[in-house]
Each structure stands twice: as structure tokens, then as C-alpha cells.
A and B are shown apart, each in its own frame.
Chain A
Amino acid sequence: MGRKILFVTTDQQRYDTLGCNGGSVARTPVADSLAEAGIRYERAVPQSVVCMPSRSTILTGQHPTTHGVWMNGVPLPVDAPSVAALLHRHGYRTGLVGKAHFEPYLDPFGRFTENTLARSGAETVQDLWADGSTGPHRGFEHLEFATHGTAAPLHYILWLWQNHPEAIGMYYPVLDPSFNVNGAGGGVTGAPQVHDNPIQKDWYHTDWVADRTISWLNSLAADDDWFCWMSFPDPHHPWDPPKSELSRVDWREVPLPAGYPASQAEREAILDAKPRHWRMWYDGTLVSNFEAPRSWVPATLTADQVREVNARNAVEVELIDEAVGRVLRAIESRGWTDDVDVIFTSDHGELQGDFGLLFKGPYHVDALMRLPLIWRPAPSAGIGPAVVSRPVGLVDLAPTFSAIAGLRAPGWMQGRPLPVSDADAAARGFDRVLTEWDSDLFGIGVHLRTITRDGWVCTAYRPGHVHDGTEGELYDLADDPLQRFNRWHDPACAALRCDLLADLRDSSPPARAEVLELQAPV
């Protein structure tokens, strides 16, 4: 019997939303205690700041350039390499409960397994694997899906239809009638994607994900080794947690985040020093990516709206924390705790008032790129608590799962097992991490390549709709933790910039031979 793995992901959760990372709005005692007993990473960086590419990196252990999911709406091929398949092949029981999003949701033809599995009633399907053999879909023998809202025909939505049909219409409609991301506002302040959801807490998808995870774990034998990916759809917008829970955080008492420049002139001056698509989005003259509501103009965002969004986000973070606690207690009741590794992270972050913006897009700054990452190794492994400040990536998760299972990371994985201390990170050369963005939405192309190294973040822009390929961003994370001062054109940084760009070029992963086609906007 080996170590078991509980892998917890949230969607679009920022580093600073956890108490252990300095967050003060949400109470997160469960995550905080995991961090205290385990390893807390202070510079965990995603390889993409949107869901599908980032989640594909987690599963494959590859950068987006290599696995090929270059933007949301590009499905990960069913025969892509998968760490779950690797673990399953070596005897692990494998399950994924909650948000997968390796395939598009907007799928009226029902072409993708994630949208058809629930109706089929099957626990998984047999598919081609990367090595030419067949096995359960992406390596998971048990799949139960959920996402934000109730539009896609996933397990959670069918469960709601069957058990609480009156709740179907309680959620915020994620898309508007024209199938664009909804910009309609609600709550007290009229902030976009804020909505009063009268649903009962125990019907909400956060509790459902925890309930179904516990149910699957309880179906396993005591001596099974298992890999369970518990994937919460929150705190991704819409911000529509159960209304009964809103009193946890009074939005009027929520401080404005440090990243929100309160003065309009200051906001706009900061944006003007960045590549032009920042200001164009703020002004509503360019929406380069589907994830941002087309009908909403960030320049209209008010300070109170920022407070209300952050309050509701904090409520969702608290509900997740409590749900994780419930699952950990279920694990304890099975007598497994000593042999269970718990890893907690998110696929990417979010702009929550930073620079006067919300949501996400081609913006490689801490709001989107600095993630919560906690690894509480199985107590039986004897790995002591630590804080790691050197950069690590989500690309390192698959090799970490492999190492926990006692397996050597296969050659197709591009990361390395996470370091257990800064000394370990230094010894093994955890110096840099890469992030990329590609999008092409109706001819509006944006392409970024970023390296995080030596306390700097350097982003090079490739030619696109509003960029000629000479633009860039360079931030000193120590002196400018809010990334307000773009040093790209600073002569004093010229040598550093050249060095980082050379490193970025030399470290770039190999590209997938065939470019995968966009199949949907999301």
C-alpha cells in the first residue's frame, strides 16, 4: 500500500485569498492548517492564465505549446498524455469530481465526452491513450462533472434537475442571449456577474463536489491507493454564492485591494504605460478574449463594485475551505490520513479590481499569475513543513504526483517534482517558470510569452492585432509587487531584459507538430 493523493483545485483563485498567504477577507482555516503542516509555495505560476490550457498542463505535465491547447475552446485530444492514466496503469484508483474543462462546454452537437457522460449514466468511457492502448477516459475510472451555472448537461446539473428542479433557474446565467459572457450586473452595486442566488447551501455546487468526492472515496477499499482530483468551479465568476451565506462578509467592510488604484487618473496612467490592449480593454474599445463580457466596460467599475465582488469571492472561498475540511474528515474516518498527500492549488488567478479591471485575459501580472499552492505531504513520508519562495509551475504537478506514487516522471512530462524546501529548489535549479498566452478571436490575435525569474517578470509580445512584436512588460516583483511600473523601456534594465528574453527563448518548450483547431469559444 502506497501514498494516496487528494488533489484539490479551485478555479480562478488568487494567491492572496488565503489567510496563510496574507489574505484577510476570507477565513480559510483548513487551507491554513495544511500550509502549516506542509509546504507553502510563494511563487507558484500557471503556464496559462485561462482554464482549458492551464488544466491541460496540470493533466499532461506539459506546457501549452506542447500539449497544443492554446486557448479556451481548443479541446485536449482524448489521447493526450495524462498523469491519471499513468497512475491508473500502476494500480491507482483514479477519480475526478467537479470541473474538468479539457473540452469545450458550448457543445450543442454533444461531440465531447465531458458533455455526454452524465446522460449516458456510465462512470467513464474507454478511450485511446497516448501510448496506443485503451483505458478509461484520460485515465479516470470515475468522473462526475460540474461547472459554473446550469447551462451544460453535466452530472451536477442533472442531479439538480432530478432532485431540486426549482433551483435550476436560481443561478446567474453565465452567457447572455447572444451566447457571449454575460455582463449583466446585480447585487447592491450592479457589479457584472454578481447575483443573489437563493439556492440552499447544500444544493450549491461546492457542497455537491465535496459530497460526491466523499461518496467516491467511500466506495474504495481500505487498502486501495487512489488519486482523487476534487475540482471546485468556484471562486470563478459568476459571483453567486448561496444568498444565505452572504452575511459572512459584509461588502461594505471589505477594504479596497492594494492593486486597485482609487484615482481614475492614476489607474489610467498605469494602464497607459503597458501595451495598448490593456487600456483599450479598459476603455471598451477592444475585447480580445471571450472570457471578458463584451457588453461591460471596465472603466465603469466603481470602488463599491470592487468591494462587493471581493466580498462574494471571499464567501465562495470560505465555502470551499469548509468543503475541503469535510472531505479531510471523511478521509480521517477511513484511517487514511497518514498516507494521504494533499495538494491544493488553482488553475489561474483573477483581476479583482487590479488596475481597475475584473475577470481575466492576456495580462501576465500577479493577479492572474500568482497562485495559491500548498502541498501537505503524507505524514508517513516524513517531509517537514517549509515555505518555498523560488518559482514553481503547475507543470510540476504531474511529476509530483508521479513521485508520490513512487514512479519516475516519464519523458513526456516537462516539469519536475515540486521542491520540498528552498534549499531543495536551489539545488535542483528551480530558477524560472514560463507562461504563455495565445488567442485569436474573430481575427483579434494576442500572443504573449513570459518568463518569471530572479524576482522579475518579463513578457515579450509577438505580433498580433494591436501589437507589432516590439512591445513588452518588465516588472521587478520585489520593488514593485503590484506591477505598476513597466520597466521594459528603462535603459537601466536593458541588459537584464536581454538576458531574460534570451533565457525565455532558450527555455521554450517544443511545439506540437499539428496546430489544434478552435472548436468553440469556451
Chain B
Amino acid sequence: MAVIRHELRIARPPDEVWPAIGDPAALPRWFPGIIDAQVDGRARIITASSGLSLPEEIVTNDPVRRIFQYRMTAPLVSDHLGTIEVADTGDGCSLVSYETRCEPDPLALVIGGACGNALRELRRQLEGQATPAKHEEA
């Protein structure tokens, strides 16, 4: 089981950061590469821009401790747990961590890499930075 952990500081208080993370249907808005998320109770099915559909189970969605956990249940992985935590740094900012535990190990790098990228996108959106140039088909 490999573990990939990303952590970054977002210059917004936890109350402004948590809503995006705690809303499981909001994922496509801040996770590059995910274009759709259908939520039904504790079940979520995400669709990647590659066309791949990945079923997930929401394990924890705790707005008090600001922890969101989910498992990919697709046969692509034999075991997986994603954990996002939002911590209050006490100075009006948030420390957000995104941990991927996954087997097989190589997929931890792939999923973890995408999660790190998603955290940076979330920070960009919340801090109001300019949108990076999106490519267009020629």
C-alpha cells in the first residue's frame, strides 16, 4: 500500500474552503480531469475526461472536523482511501491536506498526482488567481 500526501496553505478561512470539499457533487469544479460526479447517498460515481467512470463510496463527510474520506471501489484499484482535511491555521488561512492510500502502488502515484494538482486548482480558485490559459482545439 503506497501513501501519497499533498499539503498546501490556502489564504482563505476554513469556512470558505470546506464547502467545496464537503459537497461531493462539487468535485468536477475543482478537480482537473474529472468532468462529472453523480451522488446518491454514500455512493458517488465520477467520470474522468478520459471517459472512465469510477464508482466511489463516501466514508466520512464530517463538517465539524472538516474531514472528507472516500474509497474508490472500481476494479482498477484493489484498495484505496482518499482523505481530505481542512485545518484552521488561526490566521485566517487553511492548511489543506489530501492523502491517497492505494494499492497497487503505481496507481497511488497517478491518483495522488491528480489530487495534488486538484489542491492547487482549489487554491487558485479560492484565492482568486487568474485562470490559466485553457487550450482550445485547433
Give A contacts to B, CB under 8 Å: 73, 78, 104, 106-111, 113, 115-116, 119-120, 122-128, 134, 136-137, 141, 153, 175, 178-180, 290, 442, 517-521
Contacts and interface: CB of A to CB of B under 8 A. Distances in A.
Nearest to B54: A108
A122 B138 contact: yes
7 tightest A-B contacts by CB? A109-B33, A110-B50, A519-B113, A110-B49, A122-B137, A178-B104, A179-B106
Contact of A520 (B76, B110, B132): B110
Contacts of A124: 138
B109 A125 contact: no
B32 A111 contact: yes
A78 B133 CA distance: 10
Contacts of B48: 108-110
B15 interface: no
Given A116-B49, A442-B2, A106 B135 contact: no
Interface residues of B, number: 27
A519 B109 contact: yes
A179 B2 CA distance: 13
Given A442-B2, A519-B110, A519-B114, A120 B49 contact: no
A108 B110 contact: yes
Interface in B28-75: 32-34, 48-52, 54
Contacts of A115: 50
B83 interface: no
A111 B76 CA distance: 17
A517 B52 CA distance: 24
B50 A108 contact: yes
B133 A127 contact: yes
B135 A113 contact: yes
Interface string B118-138: 000000000000001101111
A180 to B, nearest CB: 6
Nearest to B132: A128
Given A178-B106, A179-B106, A442-B2, 5 more contacts: A109-B110, A127-B135, A175-B106, A517-B117, A518-B109
Contacts of A134: 133
B105 interface: yes
A137 B135 contact: yes
Nearest to B136: A126
Of A108, A175, A520, most B-chain CB atoms within 10 Å: A108
Given A116-B50, A178-B104, A106 B137 contact: no
Q: Kindly name the residue among B2, B107, B110, B116 whose own CB sees the greatest number of chain A CB atoms within 10 A.
A: B110
A520 B49 contact: no
A444 to B, nearest CB: 12
Contacts of B114: 109, 111, 519
